[in-house]
């Protein structure tokens, strides 16, 4: 068997933990409001809205994809990563260094995310931890080449998956949201958190 790979932990967070986390995300987004990223060069807006917490945040605009210490609209530093997320990273990844960025993705019912690879980090040995809240989503995971075959999973509220080892640089994306499949959020939609280690060591 090859080394580590996709670790899928369905229902990792129970409803109480999901509600507590949602409260924390609401506080974070009050301080660092959701923004609409745009595609490098063309400037086409993403359908997903985003924010971040932690020392760094992932942003995209005409000048490209990157991590930066401040919010692209308010210019303020990102709020600190809640201890609960740092603990979750330790408990599920066991990685030797803490995460530096937690991207907060908000999907309205018609939002999606095209197939892409997370490669704006320096440290590809560090896993990427993803956590889903709210409505179900169809997640597609492929291989290292865009043309590789893909498999689909339904990610539900409370599910965790970890892209690690040979899947760390795999293509992935969200094909669609299934509105009304969860009652966690007040309105239909989905929140996804991805925690990342950006620098080496
Ligand atoms: C991402 O690839 O950044 C998000 C994946 C997801 O929403 O599950
Ligand atoms: Fe991604």
- Answer yes or no: pTM beyond 0.85: yes
User: Is 133 touching ligand 1 by the criterion CB < 6 Å?
Assistant: no
Torsion of CA 99, 39, 27, 77, to 10 degrees: 60
Q: What atom of ligand 1 comes closest to residue 118's alpha carbon? A: 2
Q: What is the DSSP string of 150-191?
A: -EEEEE-TT-EEEE-GGGTT--EEEEEEETTS--SSSSS-EE
The CATH number of the structural domain formed by 3-196 is 2.60.120.590
pLDDT tens, 54-69?
999 999 999 999 999 9
**8 closest CA partner among 92, 109, 72:** 92
pLDDT tens, 40-56?
998 999 999 999 999 99
User: Is 174 touching ligand 1 by the criterion CB < 6 Å?
Assistant: yes
Q: What atom of ligand 1 comes closest to residue 132's alpha carbon? A: 8
Q: What is the helix (H) or strand (E) element at residue 159, kind and residue range?
A: none
**54 closest CA partner among 82, 25, 31:** 82
């Amino acid at each position: 068997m090859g080394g580590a790979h996709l670790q899928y932990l369905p229902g990792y967070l129970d409803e109480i933990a999901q509600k507590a986390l949602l409260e924390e995300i609401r506080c974070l987004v009050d301080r660092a409001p959701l923004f609409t990223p745009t595609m490098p060069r063309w400037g086409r807006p993403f359908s997903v809205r985003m924010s971040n917490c932690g020392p760094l945040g992932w942003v995209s605009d005409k000048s490209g994809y990157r991590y930066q210490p401040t919010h692209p609209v308010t210019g303020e530093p990102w709020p600190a990563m809640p201890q609960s997320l740092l603990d979750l990273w330790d408990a599920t990844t066991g990685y030797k260094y803490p995460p530096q960025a937690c991207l907060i993705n908000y999907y309205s019912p018609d939002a999606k995310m095209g197939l892409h690879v997370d490669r704006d980090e320096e440290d590809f040995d560090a896993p990427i931890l993803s956590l889903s809240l709210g409505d179900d989503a169809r997640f597609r995971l492929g291989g290292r080449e865009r043309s590789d075959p893909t498999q689909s999973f339904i990610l539900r509220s409370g599910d965790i998956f970890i892209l690690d080892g040979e899947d760390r640089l795999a293509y992935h994306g969200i094909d669609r949201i299934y509105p009304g499949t969860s009652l966690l959020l007040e309105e239909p939609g989905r929140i996804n958190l991805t925690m990342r280690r950006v620098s080496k060591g």
